[in-house]
Amino acid sequence: MTLDLTTAFAGKKALITGGLGFIGANLAIRLVELGAKVMVVDSLIPLYGGNLFNVEPIRRQIRVNISDVRDEYSMAYLVQGQDYLFNLAGQTSHLDSMVDPYTDLEINCRAQLSILEACRKQNPTLKLVFASTRQIYGKPEYLPVDERHLCRPVDVNGINKLAGEWYHLVYNNVYGIRAVVLRLTNTYGPRMRIKDARQTFLGIWIRRLIECQPFEVFGDGSQLRDFNYVDDVVDALLLAAADERANGGIFNLGAPDWLSLRDLAQLLVELNGGGSYRIVPFPEDRKPIDIGDYYADYRLIQQVLGWEPKVPLREGLARTLVYYQEHWQHYV
Amino acid sequence: MTLDLTTAFAGKKALITGGLGFIGANLAIRLVELGAKVMVVDSLIPLYGGNLFNVEPIRRQIRVNISDVRDEYSMAYLVQGQDYLFNLAGQTSHLDSMVDPYTDLEINCRAQLSILEACRKQNPTLKLVFASTRQIYGKPEYLPVDERHLCRPVDVNGINKLAGEWYHLVYNNVYGIRAVVLRLTNTYGPRMRIKDARQTFLGIWIRRLIECQPFEVFGDGSQLRDFNYVDDVVDALLLAAADERANGGIFNLGAPDWLSLRDLAQLLVELNGGGSYRIVPFPEDRKPIDIGDYYADYRLIQQVLGWEPKVPLREGLARTLVYYQEHWQHYV
């Protein structure tokens, strides 16, 4: 059975790395509703997802600490006294990880290790949830992709995220620092970065749509993808944190209404009441790191934690468009 | 069919990182015999495997460059003009990787990335062979372990080696820098470190045996393991380098004469004509990172490259004992 989240989080202290970013800020808002004492940590690196406006609804109810997860000393201080650590900070751009592999390594790999070392030394009883990515599977051999699929990353980002998740699992297994890994698929919704495609291609699609510009679909548009509305991802993060049965586990997220990118583009245009897109060949730098078709088998998290996505794609996209039309000036 | 190695290497330039170490030095000796121009790079870190005596037979025929693979600038210079890069430098101690995870990360993870960046920028036509490890599989789910077994490392060393091998594969796949990954199992033979168990537990066993001290077998001695004599591993490295069919591949090494550690201990005592060992419980720090039984399925490299181990365990161990009796003063 699924846990009662209010009981789990009321009065509890939660630290969110990347807490001013897309998923982190939505999680912070939900944790405040559940009565948790929330501290968000974010580096506000301009090319990443952090945005102070993201926590506008809760700005007086949380603590905001600007620092970088690569800063071992600030992290060693901040983890102290926390009950939960939602470890969401990361470099997310696949392309950037190829152009500047060291920065990706420092953030997605080395900083994860230093966060875990900080927990081991300062607070070994806290519970960690790590946001990993379906990118680590690489080009799927079969669909839907379950957690037993081989991990064969196609870019540096996928490799470093793979290392990051295993640091968490090894610290769980060797030191008993409770940790769970969620492998997220495409997440979308309010508070995502829409300036460019660094966080998700849906960001730039929505930006262009609202700007009445055609957006670009790479390849032939036939690639299959699954999408989670951010509130569903927040649910999964909370369940993984609250439920002891998750400890040491790896769980895919996913959705039943996967579709082709072309169908997604048409759906967006329809929901927006207008707009256009162009099917263009893959840019040279993106083609070798594309993963082809992907959608997840997420039955494991259904079975173990009772999670399933609740917001259908059509509804989630509609809510997302409304959010950006309303708060446009804070995101572009 | 298996390639003619003399044709492949005569007159060719080969760089070996970790070239004063156990496998690197044996490889250097063989490459000199094949007519290659060899440069070895080694940091000579006292706790690692580098030992100048290891290249004594070829000291006037090779170039020795003392530098650390973490030194980006020296590596960027040294890769220039090379035809082959045998990338063997690494931190090998599982236990040390838990005590000092950052050093393991810097050597096994970040340095690999900087070596590949150096190749991409300075010499993208060279061929790379990366020495990975069976440690990345973690506790086997089935035996023998083939290359489709999930990678679930049990310690920080296994995670960083996993990242290291995938950097090589991504650079092969994205940039066309030809690279092959070999997943080595326990390797033994002349020129291994015997001062302690940092490189292989067989090192310390042989040291104690020759010192007429009992050596220690951890656990109950029933753990199964496979062993490759170093000359067979050198053969695999050479075939992987010479054969274009290997590019982008991952290959297990292994041996048909796997056995329990207790049987191995008895065999060693027998070959030594005396000696003793004690079965002792796992030390607290080793127990959680032990992988249980392991032996490899190495049919893939048999099929693709025609490699198979030629030196039976009994013969290899006998040769090894003779080597250390003869050259004792250079290794303890």
B32-54 pLDDT, tens digit per residue, is 999 999 999 999 988 889 999 99
Q: Does A109 touch chain B (CB under 8 A)?
A: yes
Nearest CA in chain A to B172: A154
Q: Can you tell me whether residue A237 is helix, strand or coil?
A: helix
CB contact under 8 A, B167 and A150: no
CB contact under 8 A, B170 and A151: no
pLDDT 10s per residue in chain A (332 long)? 567 888 899 999 999 999 999 999 999 999 999 999 999 999 998 888 999 999 999 999 999 999 999 999 999 999 999 999 999 999 988 899 999 999 999 999 999 999 999 999 999 999 999 999 999 999 999 999 999 999 999 999 999 999 999 999 999 999 999 999 999 999 999 999 999 888 889 999 999 999 999 999 998 999 999 999 999 999 999 999 999 999 999 999 999 999 999 999 999 999 999 999 999 999 888 888 889 999 999 999 999 999 999 999 999 999 999 999 999 999 99
- For A202, the token pair is 């849906």
Nearest CA in chain A to B250: A152
Greatest Cα pair distance in chain B: 55
- For A100, the token pair is 């500047």
Q: Could you tell me where the DSSP H helices lie in B289-332?
A: 299-305, 313-327
Give A5-193+227-256+295-311's CATH code, choosing from 3.40.50.300, 3.40.50.720, 3.40.50.360, 3.30.360.10. Answer: 3.40.50.720
* A86 strand-pairing partners: A16, A129
Complex ipTM tops 0.85: yes
Q: Can you tell me whether residue B278 is helix, strand or coil?
A: strand
The pLDDT tens digits of the residues spanning B157-183 come to 999 999 999 999 999 999 999 999 999
pLDDT value at position B3?
73
Q: Does B70 touch chain A (CB under 8 A)?
A: no
The CATH class that applies to domain B5-192+227-258+294-310 reads alpha beta
Cα first-last separation, chain B: 42
Among B17, B74, B26, CA closest to B48: B17
pLDDT value at position B198?
85
Q: Does B47 touch chain A (CB under 8 A)?
A: no
CB contact under 8 A, A153 and B170: yes
Please name the member of B150, B158, B159 whose beta carbon is closest to the beta carbon of A148.
Answer: B150
> To 10 degrees, what angle do helices A201-210 and A261-272 make?
30
Please name the member of B114, B151, B174 whose beta carbon is closest to the beta carbon of A151.
Answer: B151
pLDDT value at position A48?
87
Percent of chain B at pLDDT exceeding 70: 99
- For A263, the token pair is 């169908």
* B260 strand-pairing partners: B224
Q: Does A174 touch chain B (CB under 8 A)?
A: yes
Which one of B170, B171, B286 makes the best mutation probe of the A interface by having the most chain A beta carbons within 10 Å?
B170
Euclidean distance between CA atoms B261 and A8, whole angstroms: 47
Domain coordinates of chain A in residue numbers? 5-193+227-256+295-311
- For A35, the token pair is 């009565």
In this prediction, residues B288-295 reach a mean pLDDT of 90
Q: Does B151 touch chain A (CB under 8 A)?
A: yes
CB contact under 8 A, B156 and A170: yes
- Dihedral sign for Cα A238, A239, A242, A248, please: negative
- For B175, the token pair is 């940039």
CB contact under 8 A, B162 and A160: no
Please report which confidence band the pLDDT of residue B2 belongs to, taking 50, 70 and 90 as the band edges. low
Q: Does B109 touch chain A (CB under 8 A)?
A: yes
Name the minimum distance, in Å, from the CA of B106 to any CA of chain A: 9
| A91 contacts A97 by C-beta, under 8 angstroms | yes
pLDDT above 70 (res B222): yes
Q: Global pTM?
A: 0.95
Q: Which residues of A touch B101 (CB under 8 A)?
A: 113, 117, 167
* A250 strand-pairing partners: A181
> To 10 degrees, what angle do helices B111-122 and B156-175 make?
20
Neighbouring residues of B120: CB distance < 8 A, sequence distance ≥ 6: B171, B175, B177
The shares of helix, strand and coil residues in chain A, as percent rounded to the nearest 5, are: 45, 15, 40
In this prediction, residues B202-215 reach a mean pLDDT of 95
CB contact under 8 A, B113 and A102: yes
* B133 strand-pairing partners: B184
Among B300, B304, B332, B308, CA closest to B144: B300
Among A15, A289, A17, A317, CA closest to A192: A317
Among B140, B191, B202, B257, CA closest to B19: B191
Q: Can you tell me whether residue B250 is helix, strand or coil?
A: strand
Q: Does B113 touch chain A (CB under 8 A)?
A: yes
Name the minimum distance, in Å, from the CA of A150 to any CA of chain B: 6
Please report which confidence band the pLDDT of residue B1 belongs to, taking 50, 70 and 90 as the band edges. low
- Dihedral sign for Cα A247, A249, A253, A256, please: negative
The pLDDT tens digits of the residues spanning B107-160 come to 999 999 999 999 999 999 999 999 999 999 999 999 999 999 999 999 999 999
pLDDT value at position A7?
87
pLDDT value at position A1?
55
